[in-house]
Structure 1
């Protein structure tokens, strides 16, 4: 799901090659270093342009064709686009300017606006039809955008390739949350978008990704180091949090008028205000009227450099578990641990393993035999990973020996359930945890489905509503989960966005905060949910989500351990996940425990994190509200204490143009 957020960013900086010397140009799209698609540009005989953009991500992925015309200043004056979006929903988009009136239409917008001068239209779903030449025609290298905003280009660094070609790294600001980086050629035309996850590189120059990315990351890291210096208030003395309403995840209660003493990032004393003396010289944080609790955990992220760290901390998330990433994650974790950039503690990392083939996962080890899988486990262990994540293309007979090797190395095993295997079989073969609630429901739909593909979503959407949660098969499966102490990571909120049609309305995961976001992101998140719900099946899809939500409560009631994960936009979606647990019927206190002590325990970190007790890390959030009474108050985090550092969430969010909750 990480790509949904990435594509919002790429849509703001992917542009055409309007002054190219060749009439046809092509780029390769790579995901996790593997070729997955193409971006192609063609100048037609009539002076118009055509761009193709398509990629395959395990059966998902955009596929669009954009036709357009430019005026003498290289500004688009007409466009017609068709295709499908990431989840294969049909899309269309038109744009034109006539007599000073700009008109555009797509599946969720139909607007007209009088304009003066040249403006750049940003397509909502299609990708292409814009030119970097526009920026270089203005004194400040900035252009006005439609429907709204202004984007500025800054030239950062020139670079000469080994064959003598000169390229340059530039940043774009004014859209998205932080600057987006892109490489241009010597004629200021688009050259490349390098990335660990989703890269666009000139055909024939695919090997440049590591070289260009290293330079780009250096620039990005400097930016985020500056943010850390600006917003992390270092505590040089002892620290006291006084007058707090202090939540204890063990008891599920909150004690008013409490004081916490902290030295060198460790809690030394906790007790009533009247019984705890604040030593002279301690810095005091007055928590009068605030709900104080351990920092939140997101147990399903795919952490990326950039806004992720800021969004996590800005929403009270101080600890995360990475569920699969490139090996560059090791460097990112070290940067955070060394205090160079801001971010949550990456408490656990999962080594990602999938079977090689057309539906292989986007990162990690792609194996062709069980021996390769065992070797991958050993490699991940030496690199410091604590968990193995198996994916959909693993052959079912490989699971048991790979899981056994992971267990011999003291590593947990989790993941998707491989295609043509039941969840119950995966548990017997060694799974300690299952990712995503759809994998639970697929257990009752048989083994014939090819769940390497998006059928793993569609089949559940069409059938989950009919599953009787009181049936003998469901009860037997839950009994197995309890007996094997299998953990479930539901990511339930993602399926609300996927199954509930929201055309023209904000997606459910972001609806509570969408009006606080920059206008360009508001537009994206108001463009509808993920799946194309067949006409007449809306009620079925909605009931399927409701039954999945009920399953969360059934699992909890039966003692199955649940951990809160998002696999989505950092920070905000975790709040939605916790709200959905309460919506399912789990008591607020239990949900707060799930998001703190229970997560720390599953990560093997409960001795240091998860509660606010002497000897544990200062991992504390202050909330202007009481989530025991209203779980949505979890969104009102004001202050984050992470070890020796204090952050004000208002400052963090405002830094990326997100309005604070007040």
Structure 2
């Protein structure tokens, strides 16, 4: 029944010719997700009315009338939530857009890269896509960086990813210009520390493995800055990654670091699904009903359809499993320290 409710809520993303009828969901509990999910204003025995491409009414059954002639879905005591947002998501073609919608994701911050493939802005139906621009992978003088910020906005960026080679003296101006142009800023950093960047107004940080860099030594941080995407197990990035279990075991340092990030106000986007297959007891994602519309050839490093496991290069399986366990421990500590989270 929950899938029926999600499907009904996704009517808002269908073409108007398909969504022209009035649809009512009754006997649902609307989950209040405001204040980062900490509010307690859920609405039991609720009615939701959708017409054309909009939700036109929602509230207690005693306050919302059911229009004559509406098609009614009985939620039978199930739950209704707003469309979910994936704040760091790839979308390459229509099948993936359909899969997002089928799972209740109605809005994404869309990323593209060599590994993730090009972002498909033309799928229909599709989640609403907020394209993620990018600056700072290569070092540049501040005037050039600011010009890149403006160019990304002109290309259609709605959110800006600021990367490793933006220095602390450049970051405030980059953040300020991005905000002036209406683009929130996500940081994936090295030269500027995460605590500093949070205080400078960066809105969010992405990847537990990346925003935990502030727990490591300056030497490792400089090494990650020099080769942030190295796959060599002997590289500084991998030395740092393999140190994560030890860093996660220092609960006091994790708590203090989390408190400093939280004080600055930046949210965290952990992207923990990247390590899902490395955690004990995980399910085979190909057993999910939505997998029938997904082609493994369209996924960077997919799970084996039979085993549900990754096909690892020699020597990396144990390293990835240790990293995945450390990520959970780190984010649990950051959350307890007051950090706010955004799904991605």
Distance of aligned partners of 1:563 and 1:457 in 2 relative to their CA distance in 1, 3 Å threshold: farther
**Is the 8 Å Cα contact of residues 399 and 430 (structure 1) preserved in structure 2?**
no
CA offsets 1:542-582 (integer angstroms, 9 cap, x no match):
444223202222222333111111xxxxxxxxxxxxxxxxx
2:26 matched to which residue of 1? 242
Structure 1 residue corresponding to 2:217, chosen from 418, 424, 446: 446
SS of the aligned residue for 2:132 comes to strand
User: Is 1:494 equivalent to 2:274 in the alignment?
Assistant: yes
Structure 2 residue corresponding to 1:432, chosen from 203, 206, 209: 203
User: Is 1:261 equivalent to 2:49 in the alignment?
Assistant: yes
**Is the 8 Å Cα contact of residues 464 and 545 (structure 1) preserved in structure 2?**
no
The CA deviation at 1:291 is 2.4
Structure 2 residue corresponding to 1:529, chosen from 310, 313, 333: 310
Structure 2 residue corresponding to 1:548, chosen from 320, 327, 331: 327
**Is the 8 Å Cα contact of residues 318 and 345 (structure 1) preserved in structure 2?**
yes
Structure 1 residue corresponding to 2:125, chosen from 339, 342, 353: 342
2:244 matched to which residue of 1? 464
1:563 matched to which residue of 2? 342
2:90 matched to which residue of 1? 302
Q: CA RMSD in A?
A: 3.7
Distance 1:509 1:460 in 2: 29
Q: 5 Å matches for 1:594-609?
A: none
Structure 1 residue corresponding to 2:288, chosen from 501, 513, 532: 513
The CA deviation at 1:393 is 4.5
CA offsets 1:387-443 (integer angstroms, 9 cap, x no match):
21122344565434322322333432223113x553234434543211100012222
**Higher relative helix content:** 2
1:386 matched to which residue of 2? 158
**Is the 8 Å Cα contact of residues 435 and 489 (structure 1) preserved in structure 2?**
yes
Distance 1:425 1:254 in 2: 37
**Is the 8 Å Cα contact of residues 201 and 264 (structure 2) preserved in structure 1?**
no
Distance of aligned partners of 1:324 and 1:394 in 2 relative to their CA distance in 1, 3 Å threshold: farther
Distance 2:106 2:142 in 1: 37
Structure 2 stretches of 5 or more lacking a match?
1-13, 297-301
1:175 matched to which residue of 2? none
User: Is 1:320 equivalent to 2:108 in the alignment?
Assistant: yes
**Is the 8 Å Cα contact of residues 493 and 509 (structure 1) preserved in structure 2?**
no
Distance 1:437 1:459 in 2: 16
Distance of aligned partners of 1:512 and 1:400 in 2 relative to their CA distance in 1, 3 Å threshold: farther
Distance of aligned partners of 1:441 and 1:533 in 2 relative to their CA distance in 1, 3 Å threshold: farther
Q: 5 Å matches for 1:225-236?
A: 234-236=18-20
Q: 5 Å matches for 1:9-408?
A: 234-250=18-34, 251-252=39-40, 255-324=43-112, 333=121, 335=122, 341-346=124-129, 348-356=130-138, 368-394=140-166, 397-408=169-180
TM-score (norm 1): 0.41
SS of the aligned residue for 1:285 comes to strand
1:167 matched to which residue of 2? none
1:222 matched to which residue of 2? none
Q: Highest Rg: 1 or 2? A: 1
Distance of aligned partners of 1:562 and 1:456 in 2 relative to their CA distance in 1, 3 Å threshold: farther
**Is the 8 Å Cα contact of residues 465 and 546 (structure 1) preserved in structure 2?**
yes
**Higher relative strand content:** 1
**Is the 8 Å Cα contact of residues 195 and 264 (structure 2) preserved in structure 1?**
no
Distance of aligned partners of 1:517 and 1:382 in 2 relative to their CA distance in 1, 3 Å threshold: closer
Distance of aligned partners of 1:414 and 1:277 in 2 relative to their CA distance in 1, 3 Å threshold: closer
Q: 5 Å matches for 1:637-648?
A: none
How many residues of Structure 1 are paired with residues of Structure 2 in the alignment?
309
2:8 matched to which residue of 1? none
The CA deviation at 1:305 is 2.9
